[in-house]
Amino acid sequence: MAVITIIGTNYVGAVYAAAFADLGNQVYGVDIDERKVQLLSEGISPIYEPGLDELVTRNLKAGRLRFTTCYDEAVPVSEFVFICVGTPSSFSGEADMRAVRSAAEMIGKTIRGHTIIINKSTMPIGSGDLVTSIINQVKSPDATFAVVSNPEFLREGSAVQDVFNPSRIVLGAEDREAAERVAELYSALNAPVLITDRRTAEMIKYASNAILATRISFINEIAQICEQYQADVKVVAQGMGLDPRIGPLFLDAGIGFGGSCFPKDVKALSYMAQEAGCHPQLLHAVLEINQDQRRRFVHKLQTMVGDLHQRPIAIWGLSFKQDTDDIRESPAIDVVRMLIQRGAIPRCYDPAAMDNAREVVPEAEYFDDPYEAVRGTDALLVLTPWNEFKQADLGRVADLMRQPVLLDGRNLYDPADVRRLGFRYAGVGR
């Protein structure tokens, strides 16, 4: 059993804290947000992540998991300290490192003996050096430490499953022994371990997210061409995916990628490339295509129904993907804002994300029932692929609408089936 501190208890930190506790370790979750700490201490996750509440509650009851706002309570007794704080994009695209700097300073002031500090947050290349420098400036003379880069590859909506079934464990360190000790924390998991230097490990995370974002923008560009030549992008993607050199994943055309990782990390990698004198043409194109998808979708709506002023438009889905309440960089939120700018009246429903959406787009209308959201509307826009939308009674939807127009931003439905119900239908690339 190891004693572990996790700094930051949002999507990544909360999941890893509960998971490491479930593997038999004594874990402290530290966060400066008192409300978040109180909720977690009661077994209530402040985020929507399937299975997380149960995982937290089980380990709180077992006495292996504790949440606190106090670094002094956790860090001095810990062998391992994970930094899991946010690194959002600044206006320039550069990663905002203020939370990392603050965490590193507090860790440095409170470590005792020898401690291994693990950078779990997605940080710019060279951040291991930065954290090392900050800690060296403030630590006590008798404290020693090593810094290991250990990027996370969790998917929101399946993070609990992912944390126990990782595709790989990437560890970057200048101190091989420190990396091997971190590897031991994951030894109960059946996953390959790659040990390299810190900068290479940091780059692996950015490069991984960039290639996945690139695949999405690629298939969305193909979807545009399909629409002009009456080809079906879903079948095109299926045919492409059967090639083992390509594979089927991340070839779903839609209204673009969002969330806390892909947009932020592609922007940050592009910024780093430019700062180093490189010309990241492909990364720029990936971001441009992604934004274009949202604008094209709204333009498609205008083409189908005309002027949007005072038109009630139903919205199904607000989170950036299914099985999460995260609306950060959500394409759906961008579409809602565009509709409002054009004078439309968005009538919104989402199974998990409406409270978050209300905070950023209070002008929209919100409904607790998807069918009430479509009542009397001139179009339905499906923007997030929640399972309940796939199983919706579209015949009932058509009857409730003023005009049965359906824009399928995630290609959930068979166009022929929908049209037989009387809808005017448009998907993406179909």
Residue ranges of the annotated binding site are: 31, 36, 87, 122, 153-156, 205, 250-254, 258, 264, 321, 328
- Maximum Cα interatomic distance, the chain, rounded to a whole number of Å: 76
Q: Which residues contact 254 (CB under 8 A, 6 or more apart)?
A: 216, 220, 293, 331, 385, 409, 410, 411, 428
CA separation for the pair 344, 68 (Å, rounded): 45
Show the CA angle centred on residue 206, arms to residues 203 and 209, nearest 5°.
Answer: 145
Residue 55 backbone phi and psi in degrees, to 5: -65, -45
Contact call for residues 185 and 148 (beta carbons, < 8 A): no
Question: Can you say which residues are annotated as belonging to the binding site for substrate?
Answer: 153-156, 205, 250-254, 258, 321
Residue 196 host element (H or E): strand 193-196
Strand ranges for 21-143 from DSSP E: 26-30, 65-68, 80-83, 114-119
Map tokens 């339905």 to a residue. 380
User: Which residues on adjacent β-strands are paired with residue 407?
Assistant: 381, 426
The answer to whether residue 261 is catalytic is yes
- In the DSSP assignment, the letter for residue 319 is S
Among 226, 261, 278, 348, the active-site one is 261
Point out the residues that are catalytic: 261
